[in-house]
């Protein structure tokens, strides 16, 4: 009987908490709509600046959750499509906090931004803590790049990492039975050494992807320097925002707010023109924060090191410390 009573009380407590959160959510959303709306789903209050965010490792499909906006290249491109189709969006700030990611996903975001740039929509990249490798790649598609003094950027290059567990397998007495259709079908397998021929095949892909990286960065930065200016520093080195400014990889040192102000200026908008950020309700934010409290970390945007093993078989525009 006591146990049933405890279960009933627990259920009631959850229902009450859910109701309170819902009421707070509705109240806060109403206040946001009465203020300077930041959501494309809210009241349209005139021409302004749209925000697109690139968070975490760049992949085709990112982490998806009811408590957060869709991430990944496809989610970023959908967001850019949404901004492009809205007549009130006169400029876009691309907020980047990413070490880069897979080659194809990075290239897709870059090409989408380049198409918007050709349509004369002012694009301003705003670097957060890190916008390195593929993070810088996509930034270079923008008309103007703003970095913090301490932003980690650069890392222009390509990497492929594969663990070799042959020694461990031998110690444990583990053998792998591989049946394959061709000599290269199990290339980069963890149970054996890579052959010189296999290394050459991977190197060719790396070199091709690298040349594409340098060409695209040079195309995006053509207004300040060409490919000859990019190549000497396209050796994988990372650098601070301050150093990147000296190398003409960025145009200005500043904050996210400075990037928004620059977008307003380039689009010839009023100083108080509205900012249309990605939608995140207060309920989503509450659950997002609670999840972080209980888990000790935010696993909706996990530590890139936790994803490193998963990405070991990919060729990437990515900074891997």
pLDDT at 302 exceeding the cut of 80:
no
Query: Would you state the pLDDT for residue 321?
Result: 61
Looking at the domain assignment, is residue 45 inside a domain? yes
Q: Which stretch, 41-50, 227-236, 309-318, has highest mean pLDDT?
A: 227-236
Phi and psi based region of residue 157 (left: phi greater than 0; alpha: psi -120 to 50; beta: remaining)? left
295-304, long-range: CB within 8 Å, 24+ apart, which pairs? 300/63, 300/65, 300/67, 300/68, 301/55, 301/56, 301/63, 301/68, 301/71, 302/56, 302/63, 304/56, 304/57, 304/99
Query: Would you state the pLDDT for residue 20?
Result: 64
Q: Quick one: which H or E segment has residue 2?
A: helix 2-34
Task: Report residue 177 as tokens.
Answer: 């039975």
Looking at the domain assignment, is residue 29 inside a domain? no
Query: Would you state the pLDDT for residue 317?
Result: 77
Q: Which stretch, 70-79, 162-171, 261-270, has highest mean pLDDT?
A: 261-270
Q: What is the CATH number of the domain that holds 132?
A: 3.90.226.10
What DSSP letter does each residue of 55-95 carry, written as one string?
ESSB-SS---BTTB---SHHHHHHHHHHHHH-TTEEEEEEE
SS3 315: strand
pLDDT at 283 exceeding the cut of 90:
no
Using CA atoms, how far residue 90 sits from 23, 51, 314, in Å, is 35, 11, 37
Active site positions, annotated: 133, 185
Contact status, residue 287 vs residue 25, Cβ threshold 8 Å: no
Looking at the domain assignment, is residue 263 inside a domain? yes
Looking at the domain assignment, is residue 151 inside a domain? yes
pLDDT at 235 exceeding the cut of 70:
yes
Looking at the domain assignment, is residue 13 inside a domain? no
Contacts of 219 (CB under 8 A, 6+ apart): 114
Looking at the whole model, is its pTM more than 0.75? yes
Average pLDDT, stretch 279-307? Answer: 46
pLDDT: is 300 or 201 the higher one? 201
Query: Would you state the pLDDT for residue 306?
Result: 40
Looking at the domain assignment, is residue 166 inside a domain? yes
Looking at the domain assignment, is residue 11 inside a domain? no
pLDDT single digits (tens) 170-180: 999 999 999 99
Looking at the domain assignment, is residue 158 inside a domain? yes
Using CA atoms, how far residue 181 sits from 87, 175, 185, 202, in Å, is 54, 19, 7, 19
Number of domains in the chain: 1
Query: Would you state the pLDDT for residue 69?
Result: 46
pLDDT: is 308 or 157 the higher one? 157
Using pLDDT thresholds of 50, 70 and 90, give the confidence band for residue 145. Answer: very high
Q: Which of 70, 126, 73 is nearest to 95 (CA)?
A: 126
Q: Which of 239, 50, 252 is nearest to 146 (CA)?
A: 252
Q: Domain of 56?
A: 38-318
pLDDT at 32 exceeding the cut of 80:
no
């Amino acid at each position: 009987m006591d146990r049933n009573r405890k279960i009933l009380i627990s259920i009631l407590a959850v229902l009450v908490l859910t109701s309170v959160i819902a009421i707070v959510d509705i109240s806060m959303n109403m206040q946001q709509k009465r203020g300077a709306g930041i959501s494309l789903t809210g009241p349209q209050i005139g021409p302004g600046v749209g925000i697109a965010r690139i968070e975490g490792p760049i992949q085709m499909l990112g982490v998806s959750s009811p408590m957060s906006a869709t991430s990944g290249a496809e989610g970023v491109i959908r967001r850019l499509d949404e901004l492009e189709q809205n007549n009130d969006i006169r400029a876009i700030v691309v907020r980047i906090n990413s070490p880069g990611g897979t080659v194809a996903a990075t290239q897709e975001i870059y090409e989408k931004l380049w198409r918007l740039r050709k349509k004369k929509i002012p694009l301003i990249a705003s670097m957060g803590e890190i916008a390195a490798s593929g993070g810088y790649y996509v930034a270079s598609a923008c008309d103007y790049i703003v970095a913090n003094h301490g932003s980690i950027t650069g890392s222009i290059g390509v990497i492929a990492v594969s663990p070799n567990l042959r020694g461990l397998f031998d110690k444990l007495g583990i053998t792998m039975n591989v049946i394959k259709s061709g000599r290269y079908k199990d290339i980069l397998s963890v149970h054996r050494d890579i052959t010189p021929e296999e290394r050459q095949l991977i190197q060719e892909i790396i070199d091709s992807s690298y040349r594409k990286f340098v060409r695209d960065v040079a195309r995006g930065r053509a207004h300040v320097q060409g490919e000859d200016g990019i190549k000497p520093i396209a050796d994988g080195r990372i650098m601070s925002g301050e150093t990147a400014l000296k190398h003409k990889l960025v145009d200005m040192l500043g904050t996210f707010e400075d990037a928004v102000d620059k977008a307003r200026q380039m689009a010839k908008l009023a100083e108080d023109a509205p900012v249309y950020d990605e939608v995140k309700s207060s309920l989503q934010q509450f659950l997002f924060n609670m999840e972080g409290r209980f888990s000790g970390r935010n696993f909706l945007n996990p530590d890139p090191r936790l994803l490193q093993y998963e990405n070991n078989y990919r060729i990437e525009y990515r900074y891997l410390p």
